[in-house]
Amino acid sequence: MDLNESQPTVVVLSPPGRISLRPMILSDVDDYMVWATDAKVARFCSWEPCTSREEAIKYITDSVLTHPWLRAICLEDDRPNGYILIMPVDKIRKEIGYVTARSPRHPTGVIERALWTRYWGKGFATEAVRLVTAEVFKEMPEVERLEALVDVDNVGSQRVLEKVGFTREGVLMRNFIVMKGSIRDMVMFSFLRAY
Amino acid sequence: MPSKETNVQENSKESSSEMEIDACTLKAMSSSPSEKIHLRPMTLFDIDDFMVWATDINVTRFCTWEPYTSREAGIAFINNFVLPHPWLRAICLDDDRAIGSISVTPVDNIRGEIGYVIGSKYWGKGIATEAVRLVGEEIFKEKPEMERLEALVDVDNVGSQKVLEKVGFVREGVMRKFMCLKGNVRDMVMFSLLPSDSLL
């Protein structure tokens, strides 16, 4: 790399603590596509990478906007680089899930290798999980337990949960779910209400 | 010692006062000689034997349900839960009288949950261990789509934890504040058995 090159014009990444959560809206579709089309992001998700803007619009309309509890994870410019959601398991248990982009959106859709900036490993998911965990226990008095099921190979997400303070329960849930046609072992994490 | 009876729904809305006689050949699954128990489908003819364990507060301690207090409620339970259940068997001694029951309830397409209950007079004789072992030996052949047989046991129910360990279930961990049992939020131990596991 030529050291005299001008600085890349990508967004300067703010430290953790500088994210905010808000509902997703349909006009988030282009930012949504940054992560939804990425096969590496989709690897541990139940969905296949998105292949068109029409598909993205349909998915956001049918599944994202209708979700009972889903928040866009936004940086300072209020544009999302992922989302986080809560699913009810039963009266006292909720499950947390999230997805974040590996890299920022680039205006031309092309990211030169020299300008590549990673989003993963910067603490955005950690901060989002931390915020949501606090909100769940504050806003939902009946919830005793927030849990997360993570693929045994998804070490990144396991680290996120551990950093927030989730407890890794037990060794492994063997043959726990079918993900894209394969039977997977999962790790169960939980965070209990502090009395 | 009994584990919780899985997915018991007492508030069944459908009422049926007809006796449903199981006309199928009773399929007996025999155990090794030392225990002399076998498993067979449960019928309304088992109602009086059912009431022996179902009214016993020692038996229901770790079950999600309270002891039964009327024969009518027992009959309704057999009609509405037992007879339609996808896989439930009476645990019987040589005289073919039921002393408890054991069931495998689907959780989803690949997971089933085992649960059992045994009359307290028959505790301490290895009967639960033998019944669970029989199920472990047969269930994956009967249900080839099942990839995981699991059990959730109250942390205080040491007896049932020992039963599962003796059979060869793997203790996966303690799921904290996992279930509401009779108004209390309980920690539960999760066990699993896979088709590839060897029984002990």
Per-residue confidence (pLDDT) for residue B29, from 0 to 100: 59
Q: A187: which strand partners?
A: A150
CA distance B110 to chain A (A): 7
Burial A118-130 (b: 16+ CB within 10 A, else e): ebeebbbbbbbbb
For chain B, list residues with pLDDT below 50: 1-27, 33
- Strand residues in A19-166 grouped as ranges (E): 20-22, 70-74, 80-88, 93-100, 145-151
Per-residue confidence (pLDDT) for residue B142, from 0 to 100: 96
The CA distance from A190 to A166, in Å, is: 5
The token pair at B21 is: 């006689």
Q: Do A169 and B174 touch (CB under 8 A)?
A: yes
Burial A156-175 (b: 16+ CB within 10 A, else e): ebbebbeebebbebbebbbb
Give the distance from CA A194 to its chain's centroid: 24
Which of A90, A169, A176 is opposite residue B175, by nearest beta carbon?
A169
**pLDDT-derived band of residue A68, with 50, 70 and 90 as boundaries?**
very high
Supply the pTM of this predicted model. Answer: 0.82
Q: Do B185 and A190 touch (CB under 8 A)?
A: no
Phi, psi (rounded to 5 degrees) for B157:
-90, 70
Q: Do B175 and A188 touch (CB under 8 A)?
A: yes
Instruction: Find chain A residues with C-beta within 8 A of B172's C-beta.
Output: 170-174
Q: Residue B25: what residue type?
A: T
Average pLDDT of A9-23?
A: 64
The CA distance from B13 to A149, in Å, is: 34
The CA distance from A19 to B140, in Å, is: 48
Instruction: Find chain A residues with C-beta within 8 A of B175's C-beta.
Output: 169-170, 188, 190
The CA distance from A35 to A100, in Å, is: 7
Q: Do A183 and B110 touch (CB under 8 A)?
A: yes
Residue A131 and residue A21 in contact, taking contact as beta carbons nearer than 8 Å: yes
From chain B residues 113-172, the ones with a CB under 8 A of any chain A CB are 147-148, 170-172
Which of A91, A170, A178 is opposite residue B109, by nearest beta carbon?
A178
Q: By three-state DSSP, how is residue A131 classified?
A: helix
Instruction: Report the length, in residues, of chain B.
Output: 200
A63 close contact with B: CB closer than 8 A: no
Q: What is the ipTM of this complex?
A: 0.82
Q: A87: which strand partners?
A: A95
pLDDT score of A12 more than 70: no
Which of A145, A171, A176 is opposite residue B177, by nearest beta carbon?
A145
Residue B49 and residue B43 in contact, taking contact as beta carbons nearer than 8 Å: no
Higher-scoring residue by pLDDT: A77, B131 = B131
Terminal CA-to-CA distance of chain B, rounded, Å? 19
pLDDT tens-digit series, residues A100-129? 998 876 645 555 555 556 788 888 999 999
pLDDT tens-digit series, residues A34-44? 999 999 999 99
Average pLDDT of A137-162?
A: 96
Per-residue confidence (pLDDT) for residue A104, from 0 to 100: 75
Q: Do A190 and B177 touch (CB under 8 A)?
A: yes
Cα distances from B42 to residues A7, B92, B153, in angstroms, run 76, 10, 24
Instruction: Find chain B residues with C-beta within 8 A of A173's C-beta.
Output: 172, 190, 192
